[in-house]
Each structure stands twice: as C-alpha cells, then as structure tokens.
C-alpha cells in the first residue's frame, strides 16, 4: 500500500509546489483547503504524513483515529495546536519551520502600529466619503516613544532593529534574556511589570505554552500607561480578550492591533454557524468579544495574516519539503 500524504489549510500555490516536488515519492498526495479537526478526521484516513497550518487542531483524539500516521509536518513555527506529548507516545514525529518570517512578521507588526498611530483606516474612510475632518485624524509620532517587546527571539529581535530605525527606545522582557542585544541596540531588559508600566506601545512575540495563557490580563492592563497601544502578532491566547474589551471600552488603552485573537477560527463564517449546533458557552463569549472589538474605531483585527508574504511562504514550503524528505531518509530535521 503506497504512502498517503494529506495537506490541510492548503492553497493552490501549496498544491502546485508540493505536487511538483513530491512527485518522485510515489505517494498519494491529497490537498484540503479546510483545517483538520475532530469533525473532519475522515479526510486524513490512512495518512502516513499530514501537513498542517495553525488552524488545524491535532488533538489526542485526532491522533488516535489515525493509526497509520508517522509524521506531522507543521508549516508554522508555533505548534501549540498539536498535542506533541500524545504524538510522542504514539511514536509520531513532529517537525516545524523554526525560522521563516522574522522580518515578515516584524514588518507586519509595524504595519499595524503605523496604521493605528496615524489613523489610517479612518483617513481612508474620510477620503472615500469626501467628508474630511483633520481634527479627528491627528495621530502621534513613533520617534521617542518607548516600545515594550515581550519575547526577544528571532521575530522580537527584528522588531527591535526596526524600532531603532524609528528612534524608539526599547524595553524588553524575556525569561531567557539575550544580553548581546543590549550591547547592539537601544534596549534594556526589565521585569514584565516594569515593561507594562513604562511602555507606550507593547508588542507580543512570545510562543504560547499554556503556562503563559492570559499573560496580558486585567492586572497588566491596570498597570499600563493611559493611551498605551497593544500589538499582538503572536498568539491570541496570550491576551485575556474579555479584559482587553473592558480596558478599550474604558478609554484607558489607546488602541489595539490584533492579527491573532482567542477563538480566531470564529472569524470564519462556517465556524460561527457551527456554534449554533454546539453547546459551547466559551465559543459564544469569544464571538461576542470579537464582535465588540470589531466595532471599536481604535482596533484593527486581521485574520492571522502576518506570515503571509510570497517570500515567507516560499521559505515555509521549502523547509517543510526538506523536513518531509529528511524524515524518509531517517534523518528527521526541525523536530519538536
């Protein structure tokens, strides 16, 4: 029986790339636009290899239903959507793409920040309507504002480099500080509490581990400067959405740029429809919170799109191909 490789969250470009480069494996290649979940597990039936993006949820139940599965190729850096411990117990190898978009995500971070600081969306709306009122379009300079960076891995480091180009002093928090950064850039490591209290803009670049769920919570918001801006291009679970809605509604927080939110799969209409058929109170809460955020004029929400540049996708796919190839050479790479 020949191998079966099943790709989820796939695009036409993914289909073309992997069909071409995996043609000599003699495997059956299957591509699905939708993510993998417990509800559609039959799509991965008899798979030896599955490749997924962040929207797919690989739980213990999913793994148990796939007895032929040998390898999971995550086309992402983060892998909190995969039950890695259950995979290890089932002798399933998991790989990721550890570096593909430090500049890509960092640039997107500043895109969100600049859009908020210079009120780009209301400016566009006024231009389209023909009713111009510059008094409500006044923004603020980034130069001289203190940027607080939570997480100084490869993406966080690139954010720091860009911030230096804007003449922004930087404070940073990381449980494993990179002291070389303090020598190379206008950067000072501080405690998380000091960062919350001193930064004008706070940007998140930490992985989600479970232990750091709601790292930014009501207490953190209470200690922030009035008018502070929050940017999150990391993981939605790092921010307590209910607390975020409350602090934005109070007027204390100046705005938020969110490429990720808790329950972000609800941004898809079919997922919202699914809520009508399931008793999922937290899902309903997420949906209401997202609706409230979307209506706020000082909030920008995008659909987990910071990774999405041509160059980054090429790096993701080439590394994924290498991971699959090396697995079958019995020399797995980028395992987690």
What would the pLDDT profile of 50-78 be if each residue is shown by its tens digit?
Answer: 999 988 999 999 999 999 999 999 999 98
Residue 278 pLDDT exceeds 80: no
Determine what percent of the chain is predicted with pLDDT higher than 70: 94
pLDDT at 268: 53
CB 290 within 8 A of CB 244: no
Based on the fold, state whether residues 94 and 106 are members of the same structural domain.
Answer: no
pLDDT at 101: 84
Based on the fold, state whether residues 296 and 156 are members of the same structural domain.
Answer: yes
pLDDT in tens, 165-175: 999 999 999 99
107 vs 285 pLDDT, higher one: 107
- Asked if the structure places residue 158 within a domain, the reply is yes
Rounded-to-integer distance, Cα 41 and Cα 58, Å? 10
283 — pLDDT class (breaks 50, 70, 90): low
Based on the fold, state whether residues 34 and 152 are members of the same structural domain.
Answer: no
- Mean pLDDT across the stretch 229-235? 97
Based on the fold, state whether residues 113 and 214 are members of the same structural domain.
Answer: yes
pLDDT in tens, 197-209: 999 999 999 999 9
Residue 277 pLDDT exceeds 50: no
- Asked if the structure places residue 252 within a domain, the reply is yes
Residue 83 pLDDT exceeds 60: yes
Catalytic residue annotation: 235, 264, 304
282 — pLDDT class (breaks 50, 70, 90): low
Residue 128 pLDDT exceeds 50: yes
- For residue 227, the SS3 value is coil
Instruction: Compute how many other C-beta atoms are within 10 angstroms of the C-beta atom of residue 205.
Output: 28
Based on the fold, state whether residues 208 and 218 are members of the same structural domain.
Answer: yes
Domain that holds residue 71: 4-100+310-328
- Asked if the structure places residue 282 within a domain, the reply is yes
Based on the fold, state whether residues 282 and 139 are members of the same structural domain.
Answer: yes
Q: Which residue has the tokens 């259950």?
A: 86
The mean pLDDT value of the chain amounts to 93
> If we measure between CA atoms, which residue out of 191, 198, 193 comes closest to residue 174?
191
Based on the fold, state whether residues 154 and 288 are members of the same structural domain.
Answer: yes
Based on the fold, state whether residues 74 and 145 are members of the same structural domain.
Answer: no
Based on the fold, state whether residues 110 and 40 are members of the same structural domain.
Answer: no
Based on the fold, state whether residues 52 and 127 are members of the same structural domain.
Answer: no
- Asked if the structure places residue 335 within a domain, the reply is no
pLDDT at 275: 44
pTM of the entire structure? 0.88
Based on the fold, state whether residues 255 and 123 are members of the same structural domain.
Answer: yes
- Asked if the structure places residue 257 within a domain, the reply is yes
Rounded-to-integer distance, Cα 286 and Cα 128, Å? 32
> If we measure between CA atoms, which residue out of 26, 23, 71, 25 comes closest to residue 47?
71
285 vs 241 pLDDT, higher one: 241
CB 234 within 8 A of CB 202: no
Per-residue tokens: 251: 């007027």
Domain count, the chain: 2
- Asked if the structure places residue 336 within a domain, the reply is no
pLDDT in tens, 250-274: 999 999 999 999 987 655 544 444 4
276 — pLDDT class (breaks 50, 70, 90): very low
Based on the fold, state whether residues 44 and 172 are members of the same structural domain.
Answer: no
CATH number of the CATH domain containing 322: 3.40.50.720
21 — pLDDT class (breaks 50, 70, 90): very high
- Measured in degrees and rounded to the nearest 5, phi and psi for residue 297 equal -70, -20
- For residue 246, the SS3 value is helix
- Asked if the structure places residue 116 within a domain, the reply is yes
Rounded-to-integer distance, Cα 329 and Cα 129, Å? 60
Per-residue tokens: 21: 């480069």
- Asked if the structure places residue 77 within a domain, the reply is yes
């Amino acid at each position: 029986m020949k191998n079966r490789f099943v790709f989820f969250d796939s695009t036409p470009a993914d289909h073309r790339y992997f069909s071409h480069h995996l043609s000599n494996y003699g495997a059956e290649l299957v591509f699905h636009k939708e993510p993998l979940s417990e509800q559609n597990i039959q799509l991965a039936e008899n798979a030896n290899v599955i490749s997924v993006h962040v929207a797919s949820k690989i739980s213990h139940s999913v793994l148990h239903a796939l007895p032929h599965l040998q390898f999971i190729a995550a086309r992402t850096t983060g892998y909190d959507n995969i039950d890695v411990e259950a995979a290890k117990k089932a002798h399933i190898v998991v790989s990721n793409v550890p570096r593909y978009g430090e500049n890509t995500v960092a640039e997107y971070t500043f895109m969100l920040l600049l859009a908020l600081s210079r009120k780009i969306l209301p400016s566009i709306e006024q231009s389209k309507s023909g009713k111009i009122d510059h008094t409500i379009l006044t923004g603020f300079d980034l130069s001289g504002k203190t940027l607080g960076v939570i997480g100084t891995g490869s993406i966080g480091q690139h954010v720091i480099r860009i911030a230096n180009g804007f003449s922004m002093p930087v404070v940073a928090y990381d449980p494993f500080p990179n002291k070389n950064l303090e020598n190379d850039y206008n950067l000072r490591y501080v405690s998380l509490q000091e960062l919350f209290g001193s930064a004008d803009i706070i940007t998140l670049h930490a992985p989600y581990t479970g232990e750091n769920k709601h790292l930014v919570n009501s207490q953190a918001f209470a200690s922030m400067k009035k008018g502070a801006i929050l940017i999150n291009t990391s993981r939605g679970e790092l921010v307590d959405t209910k607390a975020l809605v409350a602090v934005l509604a109070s007027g204390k927080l100046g705005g938020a740029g969110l490429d990720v939110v808790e329950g972000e799969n609800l941004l898809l209409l079919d997922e919202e429809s699914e809520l009508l058929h399931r008793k999922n109170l937290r899902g309903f809460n997420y949906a209401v919170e997202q609706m409230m955020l979307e209506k706020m004029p000082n909030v920008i929400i995008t659909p987990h799109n910071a990774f999405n540049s041509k160059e980054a996708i090429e790096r993701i796919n080439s590394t994924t191909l290498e991971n699959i190839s090396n697995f079958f050479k019995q020399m797995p790479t980028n395992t987690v």
